[in-house]
Each structure stands twice: as structure tokens, then as C-alpha cells.
Amino acid sequence: MTTTDAHKCANAACGCMTTSAKHCSPRCEALEMRPDIACSCGHAECKDKTS
Ligand SMILES: [Zn+2]
Ligand SMILES: [Zn+2]
């Protein structure tokens, strides 16, 4: 197992961690410009933070 460089998703409304790209998912990449919209990446971690 290699050492991964995990970092938080670039979407401010998202709390997911990602290691491969700037965003954890294409959805976050699209929502980065819309911080007023709740993250919809589908990750359980994020869903729990909505409200
Ligand atoms: Zn998310
Ligand atoms: Zn994300």
C-alpha cells in the first residue's frame, strides 16, 4: 500500500477527503462555484452534514 496524499475536497460544502483529484467527485467539481447548494456527491459523510 502506497502512501496517499489525502486532502479535503475543494468544494467548501463538502467534507469528503480525496486522494486522486481536486474534488472527490464530478458533482463537487460542478458545485464548487455554488457554495449555497448542499453537496450532492452522495457520500454518507456529506449527507450527514446537510441541513
Ligand atoms: Zn461531498
Ligand atoms: Zn466533495
pLDDT tens-digit profile, the chain (51 residues): 566 789 999 988 888 889 988 999 998 888 877 767 788 888 887 776 445
How many CA atoms lie within 13 Å of 22's alpha carbon, on the beta-carbon side?
A: 8
Q: Residue 24 — left, alpha, or beta (φ > 0 → left; ψ -120 to 50 → alpha)?
A: alpha
Q: Separation of 51 CA from ligand 2 center, angstroms?
A: 16
C-alpha cell recorded at residue 34: 455554488
Q: What is the pTM of this model?
A: 0.68
Q: Separation of 5 CA from ligand 2 center, angstroms?
A: 16
10 class by beta-carbon count within 10 Å (0-12 exposed, 13-18 middle, 19+ buried) = middle
Q: Separation of 5 CA from ligand 1 center, angstroms?
A: 18
C-alpha cell recorded at residue 10: 475543494
Q: Separation of 1 CA from ligand 2 center, angstroms?
A: 24
Q: Separation of 45 CA from ligand 1 center, angstroms?
A: 7
